[in-house]
Each structure stands twice: as C-alpha cells, then as structure tokens.
C-alpha cells in the first residue's frame, strides 16, 4: 500500500532517503531550505571582495561625479588662496576692477606683529620706538602714505632707500597667501578691502577656494558641450559594429565551423583564433601598427598592386574605423568562439543524426537545431561584450589615439583622458567620474534591453513536460 502522505510530499517510498532529506523537505514546507551559518561564513570572503572591488568603486564613482574634484583640488579638501588667476577670473565674471586691485594691493597696519617683523629684519630700535609711540594701531592703504608719516619721525633713516627698506616689513598682502579656514580668509579680506559687499566677498572666497565642492556642473557640461554628441555617436558605432560583425557574428560562425570540422583540424583552427585573445594588448597593437602604417605590410602590398599606399591606421577616417573595429573584433570573436564551442558540445548529437536521416542540410541544422539551443550563450556574449566594449579604450588609445581628428574617439577613451591622462596637467576627477557613471547607466539599460529581447524570463521557466 502506498503512503499517501509520502506521495503528497513528493517522496518516493521505495527510494532510500539521505539523513538530511527529511529536514530539507520540512524546511521547504516552511518557505524554503535554511541557510547554513557555515555557508555564509565560507561565502564571506567572496562577498567582501565583491563589496570592496565592485560595489565600492561604483558608489565612489557616483559620489565623485557630483563634485568638481581635480588634481588641483585634491580629494581631502582645500584652502583659500587669492591668486592673480583667481582675480582675473573674477574680472571676467563682471567684478569691478577697482575691487580686484584692492585685493591685490598691499595694506599696512602698525601692530605688534608688524613691529616684530621689522625688528627681525634689523630695523633701528630707536626708529621702531618712534613708530610704536606715534603710529601704533594706525592703518595705511598704501606704502606711499606710510612712508610720508615715517619721514616725520625724529629717528628716521636719512636715506630714502633705507626708509623704504624699513617700511617693507610693515606691508602685508593677501595675494598668494594660503588660509587654512574660511574665517581666516574673511578676516584677511576685511583687513585689506573693508568696503567689499557680502556678495563680493563670497564671490572672492568661492573663486579662491582650492578644494572640491558639491556640484552638478559636470552633467550640465556633458549635456551642453558639442563633443558629447560626437562621442555618443562614435561609441554607438564602435559597439554595434564590433559586437554584431565580430564578437557575436564571427564568433558564432567560427564555433559552428569548428564544430563540423574533423577534431584534429578543428583543434588547430581553435588555437590559431585564440592568439588575438591571449596576445598582450601592447604587443597586439604594435603588430597592427606594423601591419597598417606608412611602411607597413598593407601599404607595401598596396604599392606593388598600384593601389593607394598610405597609413591605413590614421590616414583616413574609413580606414581608421575599419582598423579599430577589426582589431577589437578579432579579440572579441575569440572569446565568443570559446563560449559557443562549449555550448555546441552540449547539444545531443542524436538530434543531428535524426535530422540527417530526415534529409536536413547543414544550414537547416544550424537554423532549426543549433541556434535555438544557443540562445542563452548568445545572450551572455551579447551582454558581456557590450559592457566590455563600452568600457574599452586601450586598443584605440594604443593605435589611433582617437584620430584622425578625434573621429575615432569614444566615450571611455575621453573619460580616461579627462580623469587620468590630461595634457593640460589638471586631471578632472569629477568630470571623468560623471562620464564613467553615464557608462554604468547605459550598460544597465542595455542589459535590460537584451534580457527582454532574448526573453530571459522564458529561458528560466520550468520545462512544460517534467519527467
């Protein structure tokens, strides 16, 4: 007699169960199998690694994208320095030139600190006593008026040159002076330019701050600059052509061709097509330079055939695009070939035998049997290679460097230049992070599109016929 309870629970009474099966079934009835603390402990190193080297960089990129952080500002904050460049920028922004001149001038205040500086500079003590007794606390707008008062003192130097040297320690300028805090900068500005309005003073402080601040200007800049459209177009062209023609198209063709080859020749063919993948990218770029440059293989052959002979890598826009797409495409095709070849070996050979008995051609086998069962590998290669191409710039940087005339420049290469390799010397970390964040968003959007296009949900459904 069959145990109805066992049947209802999906347990075959005729099959011996393992010690943990009953507990698993019991746990499943309460909402699923329990998670073992030991399992969590074993996974913790991988989770920490994932958190530190994947999630944390993405989060920091998002944070930095909303700052004006550069190599000039640093990443730990800054100080206040009123430099000549800052004053010129204020004039370009509409500030009155008289205000900027007052900030760049030298003010003189007779106080204990000024007297100490003068004593250290070797000014006559009797002369200093006269200054302290008659001019202590006095403020002068310029050196000329201060020197005029010094001439009235009894122990003044007789030579004009000595008088000017004695007056120098009393002068104080805030130009190119570093102030650690905002309060210190405000005090110094009020001392040399007390007539500044609050708005003018805030503008000076903002312009003179050397640290980073929170801002959305990076995204505004990306939205308004004409270069953004060109970069997006170039990136879309680069990703779509390389992905469709080589990474998926050629990779799938190579895998199917090897599948139908004899085993020995197929193995040799696979090894040859793996070379672009395993070759170091620098050496690979050097090889392509030798192949396409002015005195390279391709130009030499073209000259012998009476065809145009020039630098095919940088000599024209079409040949530059053909070079970088083919160069990157061979690398991606090798990757696709490996994955597709593994998936092809998993197809039951009996299906192919049966189709041959029914008179199916090789093309019909590929179309009706092979391609439907490669939907998952094609989805994976498409998603993975799309994200890889979006962030790819090394090959372009080492070959065309975005040329000629930035016609082959892509988004990732421009982000690299802005954040890590700027010829001006000022690396714009915030703007580079904003461009990287755009790539992350675009990559996520493409992944969602591909998952819907390939009907990812249907691939995860349980078989309609269960054994």
In terms of residue numbers, what domain contains 94? Answer: 80-208
How confident is the model at residue 157, as a pLDDT?
A: 85
Q: Is 428 domain-assigned?
A: yes
Instruction: Let me know whether 287 and 164 are in one domain.
Output: no
For residue 60, tell me if it sits in a domain: no
Q: Say yes or no: 96 and 32 in one domain.
A: no
* Chosen domain end from 181, 208, 235: 208
- Tell me, what's the pLDDT at 173? 72
Q: Whole-angstrom Cα distance, residue 382 to residue 361?
A: 27
230 and 184 in one domain? no
Tell me: do 141 and 243 sit in the same domain: no
Please tell me what DSSP assigns to residue 243: I
**Does residue 339 form part of some domain?**
yes
In a domain, 66, yes or no: no
Tens-binned pLDDT, residue by residue, of the chain (467 aa): 444 444 444 444 444 444 444 444 444 445 555 667 877 888 888 889 889 888 898 899 999 999 988 887 877 778 888 888 888 888 888 888 887 877 777 677 787 877 887 888 888 888 888 888 888 877 776 777 878 888 888 888 888 887 888 777 777 777 777 888 888 888 888 877 777 888 888 888 888 888 888 999 999 999 999 899 999 999 999 999 999 999 999 999 999 999 988 888 888 888 888 888 888 888 988 898 888 888 888 888 888 888 888 888 888 899 999 999 999 999 999 999 999 998 898 888 888 889 888 888 888 998 898 998 898 889 889 999 999 999 999 999 999 999 888 899 999 999 999 988 876 667 889 999 999 999 999 999 998 998 888 877 777 677 665 54
396 contacts 235 by C-beta, under 8 angstroms? no
- Both 157 and 255 in one domain: the answer is no
User: How far does the chain reach from its first CA to its final CA, in angstroms?
Assistant: 23
- Domain containing 249 — which CATH number? 1.10.3720.10
Please list, in sequence order, all residues whose beta carbon lies within 8 angstroms of the beta carbon of residue 347, skipping any fewer than 6 positions away: 369, 370, 373
How many CB atoms are located within 10 Å of the residue 210 CB?
Answer: 16
Query: Is residue 161 located within the same domain as residue 227?
Result: no
Residues 235 and 371 reside in one and the same domain: yes
**Do residue 46 and residue 152 come from a single domain?**
no
Domain boundary among 159, 177, 208: 208
Task: Based on the fold, state whether residues 34 and 134 are members of the same structural domain.
Answer: no
Distance, CA of 100 to CA of 150 (rounded, Å): 28
**Distances from the Cα of 112 to the Cαs of 117, 128, 131, 153, 165, in angstroms?**
9, 11, 11, 19, 18
Give domain status of residue 214, yes or no.
no
SS3 86: helix
In a domain, 65, yes or no: no
Q: Is residue 74 part of a domain?
A: no
One domain for residues 182 and 319: no
Q: Which two tokens stand for residue 121?
A: 């500079």
Contact 255, 341 (CB under 8 A): yes
In a domain, 452, yes or no: yes
The residues, any chain, with a CB within 8 Å of residue 369's CB and separated by 6 or more, are 347, 351, 352, 355
The predicted structure's pLDDT at residue 1 = 44
CB of 395 closer than 8 Å to CB of 325: no
Q: Are residues 151 and 256 in the same domain?
A: no
Residues 255 and 307 in one domain: yes
Q: 10 Å Cβ neighbour count for 282?
A: 10
Domains held by the chain: number: 3
């Amino acid at each position: 007699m069959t145990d109805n309870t066992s049947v209802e629970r999906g347990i075959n009474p005729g099959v011996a169960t393992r010690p943990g099966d009953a507990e698993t079934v019991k746990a499943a009835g309460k909402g699923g199998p329990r998670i073992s603390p030991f399992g969590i402990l074993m996974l913790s190193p991988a989770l920490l690694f994932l958190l530190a080297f994947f999630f944390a960089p993405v989060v920091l990129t998002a944070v930095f994208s909303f700052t004006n952080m550069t190599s000039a500002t640093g990443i730990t904050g800054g100080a206040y320095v009123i430099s000549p460049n800052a004053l010129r920028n204020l004039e370009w922004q509409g500030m009155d030139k008289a205000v900027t001149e007052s900030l760049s001038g030298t003010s003189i205040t007779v106080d204990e600190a000024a007297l100490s500086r003068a004593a250290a500079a070797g000014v006559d003590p009797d002369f200093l006593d006269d200054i302290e007794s008659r001019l202590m606390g006095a403020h002068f707008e310029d050196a000329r008026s201060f020197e005029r008062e010094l001439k009235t003192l009894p122990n003044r130097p007789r030579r004009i040159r000595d008088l000017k040297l004695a007056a120098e320690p009393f002068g104080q300028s805030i130009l190119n002076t570093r102030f650690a805090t905002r309060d210190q900068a405000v005090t110094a500005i009020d001392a040399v330019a007390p007539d500044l309005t609050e708005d003018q003073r805030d503008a000076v402080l903002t312009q003179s701050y050397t640290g980073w601040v929170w801002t959305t200007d990076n995204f505004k800049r990306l939205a308004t600059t004409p270069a953004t459209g060109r970069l997006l177009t170039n990136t879309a062209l680069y990703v779509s052509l390389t992905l469709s023609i080589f990474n998926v198209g050629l990779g799938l063709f190579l895998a199917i061709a090897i599948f139908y080859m004899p085993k020995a020749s197929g193995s040799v063919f696979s090894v040859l097509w793996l070379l672009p993948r395993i070759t170091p990218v620098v050496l690979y770029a050097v090889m392509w330079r030798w192949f396409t440059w002015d005195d390279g293989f391709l130009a030499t052959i073209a000259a012998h055939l009476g065809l145009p002979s020039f630098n095919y890598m940088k000599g024209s826009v079409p040949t530059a695009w053909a070079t970088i797409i083919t160069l990157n495409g061979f690398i991606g095709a090798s990757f696709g070939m490996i994955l597709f070849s593994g998936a092809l070996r998993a197809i039951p050979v009996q299906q192919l035998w049966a189709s041959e008995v029914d008179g199916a051609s090789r093309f019909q086998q590929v179309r009706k049997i092979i391609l439907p069962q490669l939907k998952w590998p094609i989805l994976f290669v498409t998603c993975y290679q799309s994200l890889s191409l979006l962030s790819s710039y090394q090959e372009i940087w080492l070959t065309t460097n975005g040329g000629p005339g930035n016609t082959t420049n892509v988004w990732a290469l421009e982000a690299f230049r802005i954040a890590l390799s700027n010829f001006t010397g000022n690396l714009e970390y915030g703007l580079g992070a904003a461009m990287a964040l755009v790539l992350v968003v675009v990559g996520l959007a493409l992944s969602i599109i591909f998952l819907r296009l390939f009907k990812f949900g249907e691939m995860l459904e349980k078989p309609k016929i269960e054994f």
